[in-house]
Structure 1
Amino acid sequence: MLWKDALYDYKMYLKLEKRVSDNTIENYLRDINKLINSSEILPLEYTQDDITSFIHGFASSEYSVRSQARLISSLKSFFGYLQLEEFREDNPASMLESPKIGLKLPDVLSEIEIDQMIEVIDLSKPEGQRNRAIIEMLYGCGLRVSELINLKISDLFFDEGFVRVIGKGNKQRLVPISDYTIKYINLYKDTIRVHTNIQQGFEDILFLNRRGKNLTRVMIFTIVKELSIIGGVKKTISPHTFRHSFATHLLRNGADLRAIQLMLGHESISTTEIYTHVDQEFIRDAILNFHPRNKN
């Protein structure tokens, strides 16, 4: 079996059977290509010693522990697929142990920092109104970037107070949207977007670029990065930071963890529980201020 055939079959398996997102597939294939570039061994010829030797060489390089863990996970998945399809009798990566990477807590913006970014948006330009709506949607609904750029006008159910979101694995969920956020979406949609020369096939996409097509992930990252710099926000942030802030602020103000899980579209409550770790300072203050032994 040649590598190109193995990678194509594996990609189709991830996409059609496992329903893995395009971004995750790209990461898996990028990791496997590191193995391909390290030697001329074909996929069915790799032994456990070959894989172990490759991983040791990778670990001694400048790659982070997190990158090493992801690489091991990718190799286990790939060779596990070859075993599942009976191309191989074994998985040579099955005995690899991932390095401990600890709990990586996401950065969270304060309400003041979010307001700082919004205040520096140039609303005199058409894209300013759009960018304001984008920030309000990211923070107000906790959307992933991929969900935001693919959001359709037909997904907006403002009378009912919900937005329909197509998440990972093409799974749909309904996310509540506040009147405050609705106001800025409508302002963009009814005063700016209506004057855009919309290209065929993008008539239903909510957020458009100047050419009348949907925005890319890179463009959203650029918008957020520029606003954070101009607004004087010192943290290293991305569009996903608004999703973390959305969840953390809900938890801080008393929202149920199960409700936050449903709004974020997490399959497991354990994924959502990371936000209980994010807000340790808030939890500590709650104990100091409200426990009877700490009261004067």
Structure 2
Amino acid sequence: MHLTDLVEEYCYHCMAKGFTKKTMINKRQELKQVLKFLREKRGIEKLENVTTHDLKAYIRQKQSSGLQVSSIRSMHKTVAAFFNWCMLEEYSNENLMKKVECPKAKEKILTAFTEDEVYRMINCFSYENYIESRNKAIIAMLADCGLRAMEIRTLKNSDIKETSIHVSGKGGKERVVYISPALKKILIKYERLKTKYFKDKIIHDRYFLSYAGRELSHVGLDNLVKLAGKRARVNKERVSPHMFRHFFAVQSLASGNLDVYSLSRLLGHADISVTQRYLHTLSIGKILEKAKASSPLMTMGRK
């Protein structure tokens, strides 16, 4: 089978599975590079001619080009998924990437936002106009609900209920998250200004909109968060929408009100191991507090 034909079929398979447009762009780009390497450097255009040695050579080329380990690992995952699909569809007898070693990445522990930093970022925006109130509501929702950037950008008006939010996550997986009274107060004021601002205008069916009434772009949301960080003078290596998701997870675990399994469901993680990464960012002080609260002997003494 010709590799070009297989990649095209595989991409339609992924689209049918509900992968996002951004994910599909990344998949196509990476697989295009693999095919180019196999064709130009190894003289291979058909699946049956590909060997594990060819794919190992591709990884070595990526490493020698100076590509970061995290990028190589992401690429490895994409290519492995394609060859695994080839095996499942019985185009090949095995996943050729199974024996291709993936470089190990050093685990980088991010410094989460503090409560004070998040408080300042929420309150650096006012209710003076639609944009200000929208920005305040977005920052508050990111911090209080732990939504992904894509999830908050694509929220529909009908997704916002009285005390909950219906979220369409990765791969079309749906979940429900809670709206606290504190967040609800901000959303009510935002909705009032939104209705006034877009009165008699044709707008997109999204809860959060650009000034022109369109869906917020990924760059637009990222710039909004960076503006909040700048206004609030948050000096962190990284200030992004995902860091609020990180904040939500760490605060939920530190409070002791949520176990890691429940948090995993709220975050929409397919694998609990992803959620467990947030445990590494808990300070020793927080861990000792949790240990004190769960002390068996202290519990016995209260009975």
TM-score by shorter chain over 0.5:
yes
Q: 1:148 to 1:288 in 2, by over 3 A?
A: closer
Is residue 107–residue 237 contact of structure 1 (8 Å, CA) maintained in 2? no
* TM-score when normalising by structure 1: 0.87
**Which residue is equivalent to 1:66?**
70
Deviation at 1:4? 4.3
- Whole-angstrom CA distance in 1 between matches of 2:129 and 2:79: 48
Question: Which of 101, 113, 120 pairs up with 2:117?
Answer: 113
Superposition misfits of 4+ residues, deviation over 4 angstroms: 1-4, 287-291
**Which residue is equivalent to 1:262?**
265
**Which residue is equivalent to 2:235?**
234
> Is it true that 1:5 corresponds to 2:5 in the alignment?
yes
Deviation at 1:141? 1.0
**Which residue is equivalent to 1:178?**
180
* TM-score when normalising by structure 2: 0.85
Instruction: Report SS of the residue matched to 2:235.
Output: coil
AA at the equivalent of 2:146: G
- Whole-angstrom CA distance in 2 between matches of 1:43 and 1:246: 47
- Whole-angstrom CA distance in 2 between matches of 1:3 and 1:211: 44
Instruction: Report SS of the residue matched to 1:232.
Output: coil
Q: Deviations over 1:258-290 (max 9, x none)?
A: 322221122332222222211033345438988
Deviation at 1:176? 0.9
**Which residue is equivalent to 2:276?**
273
**Which residue is equivalent to 1:16?**
16
Deviation at 1:103? 3.2
AA at the equivalent of 2:231: I
Is residue 109–residue 281 contact of structure 2 (8 Å, CA) maintained in 1? yes
AA at the equivalent of 1:9: E
Q: 1:222 to 1:43 in 2, by over 3 A?
A: farther
**Which residue is equivalent to 1:101?**
105
Deviation at 1:179? 1.0
- Whole-angstrom CA distance in 1 between matches of 2:96 and 2:262: 41
- The Cα RMSD (Å) is 2.4
- Whole-angstrom CA distance in 1 between matches of 2:70 and 2:84: 21
AA at the equivalent of 1:46: V
- Whole-angstrom CA distance in 2 between matches of 1:5 and 1:223: 41
Structure 2, gaps ≥5 residues long: 296-303
Aligned residues: 287
**Which residue is equivalent to 1:294?**
none
**Which residue is equivalent to 1:207?**
208
Q: 1 or 2, which has the higher helix percentage?
A: 2
Q: Deviations over 1:148-192 (max 9, x none)?
A: 11112211221xx21111112222211111111111111111123
